[in-house]
Amino acid sequence: MSIRNTPLVLGEYYHIFNRGNSKQKIFLDDEDRNRFLKILYLCNSAVSINFRDQIVRAKIDAWDFDKGDSIVFIGAWVLMPNHFHLYITANAEARLLQNSAISIFMQKVLTAYSKYFNAKYHRTGSLFEGKFKSVHVNKENQAKYLFSYIHLNPLRLINPKWKEEGIDDKMKALKFLESYKWSSYFDYLTIPRIESKIIDRSKFLNYFQTQKAFQKDIFDWIKIEER
Listed in sequence order, the DSSP H helices in 30-182 are 30-42, 101-120, 140-152, 162-165, 170-179
Torsion sign across C-alpha atoms 68, 74, 76, 80: negative
Percentage of residues in the chain having pLDDT higher than 70: 90
2: pLDDT strictly greater than 60: no
What confidence tens digit (pLDDT) does each residue in 122-154 have? Answer: 999 999 998 999 999 998 889 888 988 999 999
User: Is the domain defined by 13-222 classed in CATH 3.20.20.70?
Assistant: no
**pLDDT attached to residue 95:** 60
Q: What is the pLDDT of residue 30?
A: 98
- The pLDDT, as a whole number, for residue 223 is 63
- Model confidence pLDDT, tens digit, residues 59-99: 899 999 999 999 999 999 999 999 999 999 999 887 656 66
Q: Are 84 and 51 in contact (CB under 8 A)?
A: no
- Percent of the chain having pLDDT more than 90? 56
Res 51: pLDDT: 87
CA–CA dist 110, 100 (Å, integer): 15
CA distances from 187 to 67, 126, 130, 183 (A): 21, 32, 30, 8
Which sign, positive or negative, has the C-alpha torsion 109, 113, 114, 116? positive
pLDDT at residue 4 is higher than 70: no
| Span 199-207, average pLDDT | 84
**Position 227 pLDDT exceeds 60:** no
Residue 97: the pLDDT is: 66
pTM, two decimals, is 0.90
**Confidence (pLDDT) at 1:** 41
**pLDDT value at residue 225:** 41
CB 185 within 8 A of CB 151: yes
pLDDT score for 182: 98
